[in-house]
Amino acid sequence: MIVTDSEQRISDICAEWREDGLTVGFVPTMGAFHRGHLSLVETAAVASDRVVVSIFINPTQFGAGEDLDKYPSTLEEDCASAESAGASAVFIPQTDAIYPAGFSTGVAVSGITQGLCGAVRPGHFDGVTTICAVLFGIVRPDLAVFGMKDAQQLAAIRRMVSDLRMGIEIVAAPIVREPDGLAMSSRNRYLSAEEREQSSLISRGLEAALSLFRAGERDCEVLRNAFLMTLKDASVLRAQYVETVDPDTMLRVETIDDRVLLAVAVFAGKTRLIDNILIKSEV
């Protein structure tokens, strides 16, 4: 497996693969891998001939007071596990190579990025779409895999790729969870024992809402309240938002017709966790 910080090298390697008729799958990440990340690599490896993983802690998607300075980095382990999951190359660029002096362009997706995380993390999604556009330009993948855990990010990337005719297939990978239901996240390592224990209520709350839907409930307010009720006795959890939205547009839905995304952000102590569930009829 190739490991490089050189934009030129990764770009050349991908060009050679394409010339050889091989398809290139891409998984952009910020590193500190858990099984969620590795599932994305595995999905890309099934769907394409070569897989490039990028590890880049993108400063422009962090707001003031967020965890940029303490964001975990486990590069050696990440490279080993990426290789086992089927990666052909890991690209680990330096920040000043990605954003050289004079870098002046941003890609912003409106609408989709306004609510949910966009409302409480101003500028976050502009940082995400811009870095993805830059990395897509370097790697020029045939497809890119994103996790459904970051559902709003996934919707924004899909919109960007479609609007800008980037010609990249965007593949969504399901949320990988701990045995007690907590969605895997690089930030879970910040949790104290008590926070970690109570955090399992987040997925339980989402499941409670799904059960109500399956029992015939269609009023989204009732589903949002079911989530909040599950958290009510959790002393270290505080919901930041609980929203029911259309999974493509991220616009609020009040009555479920077909399907709705119940998306939440919850503080466990100082750590902000996000999770969601797609609520729809069983097929």
Active site residues: 37
| In contact, 53 and 41? CB cutoff 8 Å | yes
Nearer to ligand AMP, 30 or 209 (CB): 30
Instruction: State the nearest-atom distance from the C-beta of 30 to ligand AMP, in Å.
Output: 4
Residue 209 CB, nearest approach to ligand AMP (Å): 19
Residues near ligand AMP (CB under 6 A): 29-30, 36-37, 39-40, 146-147, 149-150, 173, 175-176, 183-186
CB of 147 to ligand AMP, least distance (A): 2
Structural tokens at position 112 = 């989709």
Whichever of 132 and 209 has its CB closer to ligand AMP, that residue is 132
Give the residue carrying structure tokens 């995304």.
261
Closer to ligand AMP at the Cβ: 18 or 35? Answer: 35
User: What is the DSSP secondary-structure string of 53-68?
Assistant: EEE---GGGPPTTSSG
Indicate the residue among 138 and 256 with the shorter CB distance to ligand AMP. Answer: 138
Q: Transcribe the chain into DSSP letters.
A: -EEE--HHHHHHHHHHHHHTT--EEEEEE-S---HHHHHHHHHHHHHSSEEEEEE---GGGPPTTSSGGG----HHHHHHHHHHHT-SEEE---HHHHS-TT--------STTTSHHHHHSTTHHHHHHHHHHHHHHHH--SEEEEEGGGHHHHHHHHHHHHHTT---EEEEEPPPB-TTSPBP-GGGGG--HHHHHHHHHHHHHHHHHHHHHHTT--BHHHHHHHHHHHHTT-TTEEEEEEEEE-TTT--B-SB-SSEEEEEEEEEETTEEEEEEEEEE---
Closest CB 153 distance from ligand AMP, rounded Å: 6
Judged by beta carbon, residue 53 or residue 260, the one nearer ligand AMP is 53
